[in-house]
Every structure is written in structure tokens, then in C-alpha cells.
Structure 1
């Protein structure tokens, strides 16, 4: 693939998520997950595949 006129990405704050990997011991449901924070400050969890854990 060739990009003749590349563009500058200016919305990286909207693309990148603020997540930390959490590894638990003795928890069969989710032994590891990502704890993420959205731009409004609320937190949520994601599994390894990127699916939101409710």
C-alpha cells in the first residue's frame, strides 16, 4: 500500500485509552483484565480481547 499524501493524526487523545493491566489471584471469573478510564473520568473493565466486562 502506498500513501501519496499522508495526513497528520490530531485526535490521538480520542483514540488512545488510559488502561492498566490488573492480574488477580484466586478469581476464576477474570484472572486478568484491563482497568480503563474514559475521558469523563469514569472507569470500566476490559478483557484481553478488548470486550467490556460488565
Structure 2
């Protein structure tokens, strides 16, 4: 539902986006961004799913 999509968007654009800016500055590999950003995107998606099912 909407909460799951909102959690996914927050994880992808705010969290992974912030990581992306930092990782570019620190010259970290893209694979590391995919792992860490993907983890947090999945985490926020799960938060949204739980909140969506709860309400």
C-alpha cells in the first residue's frame, strides 16, 4: 500500500541518496553503496509495511 511505497521512497531517496553523496566524496565503490543503501531501503520498506498493516 501507500505506507510501503512511502517507506521504499524514503529509504531509496533520502537514506541511499545521502549515502551516495558521501560515498562519491569518499571514493567508495558503487557495490558498497548498493549493499548499504539496499539494506536501509529494505529496512524502511519493511517499516512502512508494518505500519501499513497495523493501521
**TM band (smaller chain):** under 0.3
Q: Which has the higher strand share?
A: 1
More RCO (CA 8 Å, sep 6+): 2
Q: Which has the larger radius of gyration?
A: 1
TM-score, reference length from structure 2: 0.27
Q: Which has the higher helix share?
A: 2
